[in-house]
Amino acid sequence: MLSCPSTTFCLCITVFFFLYSFQAVTSTGIKKGELFLADINTQLKNKNITTDIKVDTNSNVFTTITVDEPAPGLKTILSFKVPDQRSGKAELQYLHDYAGISASIGLTANPIVNFSGVVGTSAASVGTDLSFDTASGNFTKFNAGASLSNADLIASLTLNDKGDTLTASYYHIVSPLTHTAVGAELTRTFSSNDNTLTFGTQHALDPLTTVKARLNNYGKASALIQHEWRPKSLLTISGEVDTRAIEKSAKVGLALALKP
């Protein structure tokens, strides 16, 4: 839990503000012949403490104070907006080779507490993302997941929608040379007692042309072929059909994506 680091810390911040308030003031959006001040950004930096102050056109003052590395890998962030006090929040981030944790709490009487964390390596990891509303005593968000991966296989299990949806997925690279891969995903929604199983595959016909196809247990099939006819420019033809009602449901699409 973190609310106010210490009195010394707050005093320091005040002192820095006065000492450096004329430094590093940048403004953008000043139009010729008009008194129009879009944004003022100030950044005050001292050792590992960075204070960002931003004033927008509606005279809202956004302040973010970041303390880097009070302990290795740790970062604390305090941000608030004046006059809207409800926007204030304190945040704690911890980044390490094998763990990433972020926690935040609103600076109000009945704050929302957010927590997310991932622990693991490139081969296996578990994580969670939650949001707890202290006013109602309810979790407004509760997601968790785990994954395993190696050079040619990724498997994952995730729990979403506050525990109502469980998804297991599996992705296997059959041939790296032709980008051939197969995958399957099973999603179960407990509240509606619904299971969806989807199979998919992809394959590169040549280095510039890829085909993908998938089918689910409700008989919906789709396929696409994508060709890179110029670097970063893709031509895609896709089709979708509900095999239980072919005449009504067939759809064909053509898409062209151009990138400079």
Ligand X SMILES: *[C@@H]1O[C@H](CO)[C@@H](O)[C@H](O)[C@H]1NC(C)=O
Of residues 53, 101, 112, 130, which one binds ligand X by CB under 6 A? 112
Q: Write the single-letter amino acid at 16.
A: F
* # residues contacting ligand X (CB under 6 A): 15
Between 82 and 246, CB nearer to ligand X:
82
3-state secondary structure of 122: coil
Phi and psi dihedrals of 29, rounded to 5? 80, 20
Nearest approach in angstroms of CB 65 to ligand X is 13
Let me know: does 65 contact 49? Beta carbons within 8 Å. Answer: yes
Let me know: does 10 contact 4? Beta carbons within 8 Å. Answer: yes
Between 105 and 241, CB nearer to ligand X:
105
The residue whose two tokens read 């006090």 is 85
Nearest approach in angstroms of CB 17 to ligand X is 18
Of residues 32, 47, 232, 259, which one binds ligand X by CB under 6 A? 47
Between 46 and 243, CB nearer to ligand X:
46
Residues numbered 52 to 111 that lie near ligand X (CB under 6 A) are 68-70, 89, 104-106
Nearest approach in angstroms of CB 184 to ligand X is 29
String of contacts with ligand X for each residue 123-152, x by CB under 6 A: --------x----x-x--x-----------
What is the rounded distance in angstroms from the CA atom of residue 187 to the CA atom of residue 192?
Answer: 12
Nearest approach in angstroms of CB 223 to ligand X is 35
What is the rounded distance in angstroms from the CA atom of residue 22 to the CA atom of residue 53?
Answer: 12
Between 77 and 181, CB nearer to ligand X:
77
Nearest approach in angstroms of CB 46 to ligand X is 9
Nearest approach in angstroms of CB 48 to ligand X is 4
DSSP-assigned beta bridge partners for residue 188: 166, 195
Between 133 and 228, CB nearer to ligand X:
133
- Here the tokens at position 3 are 């609310």
Residues numbered 161 to 220 that lie near ligand X (CB under 6 A) are none
Return the residue nearest ligand X (CB atom). 136
Of residues 21, 27, 48, 85, which one binds ligand X by CB under 6 A? 48
Between 48 and 110, CB nearer to ligand X:
48
Beta strands in 163-250 (DSSP E): 165-175, 180-189, 194-206, 209-216, 220-230, 233-242
Nearest approach in angstroms of CB 9 to ligand X is 10
What is the rounded distance in angstroms from the CA atom of residue 24 to the CA atom of residue 126?
Answer: 42
What is the rounded distance in angstroms from the CA atom of residue 154 to the CA atom of residue 241?
Answer: 28
Give CA separation, 54 vs 11, 40, 41, 118, in Å.
Answer: 20, 5, 5, 32
**Which candidate, 127, 81, 76, 130, places its Cα nearest to that of 108?**
81
Q: What residue ranges bind ligand X (CB under 6 A)?
A: 47-48, 68-70, 89, 104-106, 112, 114, 131, 136, 138, 141
